[in-house]
Chain A
């Protein structure tokens, strides 16, 4: 089907859905938005800012000062502008995904474009957080824009988008290394024929310098907006210190709810370091196809992030549409799909039973987040396996494949 027809139709459908009378409970749902991305908190922060109270003096507002300044000056937050803005973010993200696919295939258009756009725009893991007006949609848009510019070889826009993304969400700093490496290579698929990555250290350092320059400028802008440095502890500090234990589909919240205070700092360090240790090995193993490494790291990010929402695994699942060459090597796609379906149905059910109805307790929801973690982990492992297996290709007669 023609991309030029499907894409506007999907965007229009999204826009209509955004203007439909949706239940207000969607904005407060804990699966769709976390304390770092919640829309009512954004409204509260903008309101306090406009009335002269420092929104970072309390513990409620954890969005970046850049969003604060955007929504208190340029874009007022009401039903009309929010619906348009969030739909536009999703539309731009889908378009960026299609451009990444085209860059990977080295074509200017292909027959799969509309399928890729549909996979992004119709994914319920991405649709529902957008309808809930969670700012994770903006984060996904920045990630895909950065990836698109990196695939096209434009380093400044890519690093600027990445710097903006790190301003909004500190754990996305794991994408710095693969994005820089992607800028120094190209996104063309080389999974089937691995080769060594040849580059100079000076070019890596140059790109890193650009990124740090953008980050420094944005941090200074944030300090200018706020007038002081309290925002650092409330926004970036929240991802490290986990002050808010609101339930979400991730693995951190219940672990740190049940933790005794004596062990908190140690385990916070362990969980944060755990997120970082995947970066270098994945980039080294997939140095022949850095786009695939970014995809794997998006899976790691979705599973092990401090305050995840459903849009993080949604991004990972939508990115799979870029790698059709791996589909025949996936070992258990049905199991992964069913696990995801299972946990996606259980998560809201047990959340409702625990908090609204009161007939279940926290363990129900915790168990469903464990199943969700298993399903994300299964998808991640299958993706890594398929990416590596494709290099071996068809097995000749009488040979077996082992790992040693």
Chain B
């Protein structure tokens, strides 16, 4: 902290997001006060907090309409010591990465006591090999990334690729053979492996991949969420969240909505239904900070109790405000993106496994694979727009009407009635 360092937390938050925005070429600078909240239940500190003698404050912002692209990947890769020339990072081919079904870029900075500051850069994407090949799910680094690893990064402490073995009983062939197996995973040490390294996995007995039907598919996560905005009117709607618990035990999850003031909640209309029965005991609202138009977003944190093998439906009336002419974005008819809701599953207290939300999960998997945080997809809300071609016309027409009425009232109030003779006096 130099002498010119900003004093208040908000000023430092602004400095941080502007610095990140410049570093990663993302418009993170627009995470201003209208998108920043402080959801302390959902986002617990990871690592340790330095003991400075003051209380710590949390700042959280979301920018749902910003998409990650090559422009963000390039400065991200420049932060790596070997950049994207050698090592596993050389696989990151933007053409393939941003063509994937899902991709995400993450920068995690933690302070660990006795160790210092740890920076973890992560890039995640979900590929569908069936889409690239002709219906077969065989994949290799060449087929997925269109690249292979030619050299490992010489200054990396460890460079490891971990491949999960599918749980079904079909035969799977993995090449090359230089791997170690542990607990359902296959580990390749990139520094020792023969180069160029092209890992591939194939199903020799399978001709064509058969997609499982929805009814027979095993849910990939133990908790699944769907959030929708119902209603066709541009003045109000209904926010509806359905959370399904596939596990045979009760789960508690914290639910966070940090909604910008573009959608205002009617909290008194909150309804919870579990399997068709109204159950108000399944929600306990921890904090609610209502939104102030043009100033701050809504913060809604609650703890939901999900009964085993059931679906919880949460719905609430919302109203859509009417924005000023200057507040609409250039493509006003598209609508506004609303940030995702965040669910953090916590285990029920009489379970013996650790609460995965609090501590760093070990690199293997526990027997109950609960996600640390779940984000629902982004919603789009369309707000009523005024006619953008009409400011002058509206002003003159309204002012004309008011001036006319005023003028005529003024006329009547200030002039006197007089009788004048029009016909000549009768003689």
Contacts and interface: CB of A to CB of B under 8 A. Distances in A.
B289 A57 contact: yes
Contacts of A399: 419-422
Interface residues on B, range: 35 or more
Given A58-B292, A258-B390, A400 B420 contact: yes
> Main SS of chain B's interface residues?
mixed
A48 interface: yes
Interface in A21-60: 28, 30, 40, 43-44, 46-48, 51, 53, 55, 57-60
B191 to A, nearest CB: 57
A255 B394 contact: yes
Contacts of A282: 413
Contacts of A388: 412, 417
B254 interface: no
A395 interface: yes
Interface in A377-404: 377, 380-381, 384-385, 388-389, 391-392, 395-404
A245 B416 contact: no
Interface in B358-385: 384-385
Given A44-B266, A254-B386, A404 B416 contact: yes
Contact of B419 (A57, A246, A254, A392): A392
Interface string A259-282: 111000000000000100010011
Contacts of B420: 399-400, 402
Interface string B391-427: 1001101110110111011111111111111110000
Interface stretch (B9-17, B33-41, B230-238): B230-238
A304 B384 contact: no
Contacts of A30: 235
Interface in B186-223: none
Interface in B282-303: 285, 288-294, 298
A399 B423 CA distance: 7
B321 interface: yes
Interface stretch (A103-111, A203-211, A334-342, A359-367): A359-367
Interface stretch (B57-65, B141-149, B323-331, B338-346): B323-331
Interface in A141-173: none
A177 interface: no
A339 to B, nearest CB: 13
> Main SS of chain A's interface residues?
helix
Nearest to A286: B413
B138 interface: no
Interface in B248-269: 261, 264, 266-269
Interface of A: 28, 30, 40, 43-44, 46-48, 51, 53, 55, 57-60, 243-247, 251, 253-261, 274, 278, 281-282, 285, 303-304, 354-356, 358, 361-363, 366, 370, 373-374, 377, 380-381, 384-385, 388-389, 391-392, 395-404
Interface of B: 232-236, 261, 264, 266-269, 285, 288-294, 298, 317, 319, 321-326, 384-387, 390-391, 394-395, 397-399, 401-402, 404-406, 408-423
23 contacts: A48-B267, A51-B285, A57-B289, A57-B292, A59-B264, A60-B264, A244-B293, A245-B324, A254-B386, A254-B398, A257-B386, A278-B409, A358-B232, A370-B398, A373-B405, A374-B401, A377-B405, A385-B412, A396-B419, A399-B422, A400-B420, A401-B418, A403-B415
Given A28-B235, A59-B264, A400-B421, 16 more contacts: A43-B266, A43-B268, A58-B264, A246-B321, A254-B398, A255-B399, A261-B324, A281-B414, A355-B235, A356-B235, A362-B385, A370-B397, A381-B409, A400-B419, A400-B420, A403-B416
